[in-house]
Amino acid sequence: MQKTCCIIGQREISEEKIYFIKERLRKEIIKAIKNGFTHFISSFEDVIDLMFADIVVELMGEYPNISLEAAISHLGKLNITNICFQKMLDKCKVVGITSEKYYEGCFLKRNRLMVNFSQLVISVFDGRNIDETLHSINYAKSLGKEVIEIKI
């Protein structure tokens, strides 16, 4: 059975925390790989998700058995013209799309799907009551998923 890990992260990240987060994410992803995780899911939504995907793509050279999946909330997200986004998307083994159109709640539905398919959830969160992120972390815990919290 393939072991899967996903990322749940808040959107707003201060510039001074980027290096810390990137180093912690790299350590947790490598630890997951060494524990047998081979499939990684990112929403490709914001800084944390893209950072996670970038690290996984980078590690594919060293660990050729790992794969990346993009969990896209709605079809319109694929129209992003950011070259880095598109290059990482091209490296994905799977690109899943939750909904054809944006609707309130499509991000939460996407996060639930990512959690459902994962045995390990890495979260990056500052503890504030941000509904979508906190809800997804609590949902993962309610299912008994292993959750690694990177507090910022």
In angstroms, the CA 45 to CA 51 distance is: 10
Bigger pLDDT: 86 vs 23:
23
- Alpha helix stretches (DSSP H) within 4-128: 18-34, 47-60, 83-90, 106-116
What domains does the chain contain, in order, with CATH numbers? 3-151 (3.40.50.450)
pLDDT in tens, 28-72: 999 999 999 999 999 998 889 999 999 999 999 999 999 999 999
- Edge-first strand listing for the sheet containing 120-125: 94-99, 67-74, 37-42, 3-9, 120-125, 146-151
pTM for the whole structure: 0.95
pLDDT at position 52 is 97
Q: List CB contacts of 119: < 8 A, sequence separation 6 or more.
A: 3, 4, 5, 37, 145, 146
Predicted local confidence at residue 33, as pLDDT? 98
Which pair of structure tokens corresponds to residue 60? 């594919």
Per-residue model confidence as pLDDT tens digits over 89-137: 999 999 999 999 999 999 999 999 999 999 999 999 887 766 778 899 9
Pairing of β 146-151 and β 120-125: parallel
From CA 126, how far away is CA 62, in angstroms rounded? 31
